[in-house]
Amino acid sequence: MNGQRDPGHVDGDLVRARLGAQLLAGEPARTPEEVVDRILAVQAQDPRGARLAGRARTTGLSASDVDRAFTLDRSIVITWLNRGTLHLVRRDDYFWLHELLVARFLPWTNRRLHELGVSADQAERAVDLIVRSIERDGPLTRAEVTQRLVEAGLPAQGQAVPHQVGLASFRGLIVRGPMRGGQQCYALVRDWLGEPPPFDRDRALAELARRYLAGHGPATERDLAYWTGLPIGVARTALRSISPELADLGDGLVDLAGRPTSPKLPPPRLLGPFDPVLHGWASREPIVGRHGSLVTSNGLFRPTLLVGGRAVGTWGLAAGRVTLEPFEEMPEDVLAALQTDARDVERYTNPAER
């Protein structure tokens, strides 16, 4: 596990295996919860992207199924986790992931609030106000939280609100849970998810390694460290803790032992913005190839056309209609397949389906 791979090396078998692990090839998932269970933590800065990650890995569902899982089943939530960014996780994984991953990002959050002109006293008052407001009024949208801060004379301009909300989330007090009027509300962790179970760090590290590989293998310790934001030494310890369960593939790559043969590459498919397949490893070269700067720039990850396991274009959605933007000319059968999948994106995201 200590070897290092050339990040520019592209291996077709590796791509097939990873796309299979990501549920983009082989048997699709049946529910949003199954998708999140496999990926473990789905990038969620873009709420539409988090929902579309489910579409690409299931068949026949709609965005309303995701909203139902948020609101009625309480089976998935969004909060700040890996690398200090927003992720979608199953409720059953929230507590141990939060305990394992989040503490190291609290100092950064406090520094950022200071840079935004929010004093330590104001930040404490804001967190207290947010919690008391949700206790009194129930889950609140971001606009409603902002209004409470304005009324209390606390900072509510620019990035002050998301970072004050982030502070409450990093402390394990609130999560993004139920949907209301198309907006996701902040709920109290103790009310929405209940009391946390006992935390065992060794068991959590083993579970992290096992579940990461289930959704991202084959991978290296550096990939796990990148994905989580944990130090490389911690990632190494996590993988070593399940070494009897691993197959060593060489060049630092490991995977869960006994995994079935890699499935075929998926058919042409549209992936949403910030899709997990672009975030799971230290290098995204195997997927984006020479088009990396067209797929991602300035921290933004565009909706992507995936053909033959590679990013070959981007796409947009406006007024309920998808526009394809391939990087080069496509064979007619490939373009037809992308257009068919584009219609499924339109179906999936159509408010009439909710």
What is the tens place of the pLDDT at every residue in 153-202?
Answer: 999 999 999 999 999 999 999 999 999 999 999 999 999 999 999 999 99
Instruction: Name the domain boundary from 171, 189, 224.
Output: 171
Average pLDDT over residues 99-107: 93
Q: Residue 279 falls within a domain, yes or no?
A: yes
- Report the b/e string of 314-327 with b at 16+ CB within 10 A: bbebeeeebebeee
20: in domain: no
Query: Where does a domain end: 171, 205, 231?
Result: 171
Torsion of CA 225, 226, 231, 235, to 10 degrees: 0
Average pLDDT score over residue span 117-130? 98
Confidence of residue 7 (pLDDT cuts 50, 70, 90): very low
Query: Please, which residues bridge with residue 44 across strands?
Result: none
- The share of the chain scoring above pLDDT 90, in percent, equals 91
Q: What distance in Å separates the CA atoms of residue 102 and residue 144, rounded to the nearest whole number?
A: 26
In a domain, 146, yes or no: yes
List the beta bridge partners of residue 352.
Answer: none
| Burial of 228 from C-beta contacts in 10 A (0-12 / 13-18 / 19+) | buried
Residue 75 lies in a domain: no
Residue 319 lies in a domain: yes
Please give the Cα distance from 166 to 143 (Å, whole number).
Answer: 15
From 171, 204, 230, the end of a domain falls on 171
88 assigned to some structural domain: no
Spatial neighbors of 243 by CB under 8 A, at least 6 apart, are none
Total domain count, the chain:
2
Position 144 in a domain: yes
Residue at 125 is within a domain: yes
The domain in which residue 161 lies consists of 103-171
pLDDT tens by residue, 341-354: 999 999 998 855 44
pLDDT one-digit tens code per residue, 213-234: 999 999 999 999 999 999 999 9
Q: What is the pTM of this model?
A: 0.93
**What is the CB-side half-sphere exposure of residue 37 using CA atoms within 13 A?**
11
